[in-house]
Chain A
C-alpha cells in the first residue's frame, strides 16, 4: 500500500470520522455507520470503499449485513512518516529537562530566595 493512497484515504473528514467511529465503538454494520452521517447511504458506502481499498478497514459479511472493522496496521506503518516533528520536539524538550536537572546552576542562575 502506497503512502499516497493512505493519505488520500485519510484526507477526507468523513473518512476520518468513519475510522473514529470504528475505533471508538468497534466493529459495526455499514448501515449503523451510515446513520451517523447526513450524507446518503451510497455516499457513505463510497467512503467505506475508499478506506477498504487503502487497507484501513476490512469488511465481513454477516447474514445480510456487511460489517466493518478497523485495520490499524497501515496507520501504524505511517506513524513515523506522519508524526516526525511534533513527536521529535516533545522528546527533545523533555531531554532538555533532563539536562537542566543535571546541570549545576551558576551564580546568576540561582533562585533568589
Chain B
C-alpha cells in the first residue's frame, strides 16, 4: 500500500444503525457533545466555527473555521476545516452499514506535502510509528524514576 502523505484516515465501528449515527453526527447539539461547540447547520455552503481551548504551543487560537462542502444524507458529510492560518484541510465522515451497526470512516485531508512539520507529523502518525513507539516510550517513562 502506498502511503498517502496528505491525509489522516481513522475509522470506528458503532453498534447503532446508520440513521442514528447520522443524527449524532449532524445535530449541532449532539455534535457539541462529542466534538466541539459549534454553529453548524446541515446545509451546503453554510459557514460555521468550532470553538475549543486555545493551544498556544501549536499556534492555535481555539477557533476552527469551516464550511459545509458535501452532504449525502445518511452517508456522507464533508466540511472544510481551517485554523484560520496556514492549515486548509477537509474533513469528511462516511457511513457504511456493517452488520447491524455502522462503520464511520473519517478522512482528514489536505496536509501539505511541502510543509516539513506537517509532513513529518503525518509520517509519524500514519506510519504507526507514533502510536506504537510513543506507547512504548510512555511505558518506558512509567518505569523510570
Contact = CB atoms under 8 A, between A and B. Distances in A.
7 contacts: A81-B57, A86-B10, A93-B104, A96-B34, A96-B35, A101-B16, A109-B23
Interface residues of A, number: 39
B2 interface: no
A35 B30 CA distance: 56
Given A85-B125, A93-B106, A97-B12, 7 more contacts: A10-B124, A81-B57, A96-B35, A99-B30, A100-B20, A109-B16, A109-B17
B133 A23 contact: yes
Contacts of B106: 89, 93
Contacts of B124: 10, 82-83
B1 to A, nearest CB: 17
A100 B25 CA distance: 10
Given A80-B57, A103-B30, A108-B19, A72 B10 contact: no
Nearest to A82: B121
B141 A90 contact: no
Interface in A23-76: 23, 70, 72, 75-76
Nearest to B137: A72
Nearest to A100: B16
A110 B20 CA distance: 9
A12 B140 CA distance: 23
Interface in B124-144: 124-126, 129-131, 133-134, 136-138, 140-141, 144
Contacts of A79: 130, 134
A75 B120 CA distance: 13
B11 to A, nearest CB: 8
Interface in B56-96: 57-58
B86 to A, nearest CB: 14
B20 A99 contact: no
B8 interface: yes
Contact of A90 (B10, B33, B144): B10
Nearest to A16: B129
Contacts of B129: 16
A106 B108 CA distance: 30
Contacts of A111: 17, 100
A5 interface: no
A89 B87 CA distance: 17
B24 A96 contact: yes
